[in-house]
Amino acid sequence: MTSRPITQEEAQAALKTADRGRRRVIEQVDLPTWYWWSLAVGWIALGVIADLKNEWATGAATLAFGAVHSAVAPRVIDGRHGSDRLRVGRNVVGWRVSKLVWGSLVALAGVTVGAAFALNADGARHPATIASVFVAVILVLGGPRLLATARQRLADETR
């Protein structure tokens, strides 16, 4: 078996093939759609319960929501399980997506509290519910957009 030198065209074709494969893998970085919808529904439920002004119910619901989310989130928010077709390796995604999602959730909790206080000061009858619906819309519409941004950053970083 004799080996021959690789031509420049063959090398470029191999690099293009590898790049296309890398991009296909990065396109799979995502969170399941059900995650965003479940989070939004839970967020609204917490708002409704908070507006009942029963501290025990609000505390119990918050603990239950936190427990369920803490059980589910580590399995999905890393961005590696966007589809059943491919599980993206941790070396591709790292902790970037998880940090981005967690940071966004903390920020949205702040938005919820701030909006509820503002609505309450303005005399709204159900300030927590209204604020929660507002944030739920952000979750459902903005969550996938957030992951699109993360995918773009990954693609840019791996060039």
pTM of the model: 0.77
Q: What is the pLDDT of residue 94?
A: 63
87-142 pLDDT per residue, tens: 656 665 666 777 888 899 999 999 999 999 999 999 999 999 999 999 999 999 99
- Between 15 and 43, name the one with better pLDDT: 43
Question: Which residues, in sequence order, are CB contacts of 14 under 8 Å at separation 6+?
Answer: 6
Q: What is the pLDDT of residue 97?
A: 76
| β-bridge partners, 153 | none
Task: Indicate whether 150 pLDDT > 60.
Answer: yes
DSSP 123: T
CA–centroid distance for 122 within its chain: 32
Where do the DSSP E strands lie in the chain? none
Q: Which two tokens stand for residue 5?
A: 């030198």
8-18 pLDDT per residue, tens: 887 778 777 77
| Angle, vertex CA 132, rays to CA 129 and CA 133, nearest 5 | 85
Helices 127-157 and 8-27: crossing angle in degrees, nearest 10, is 170
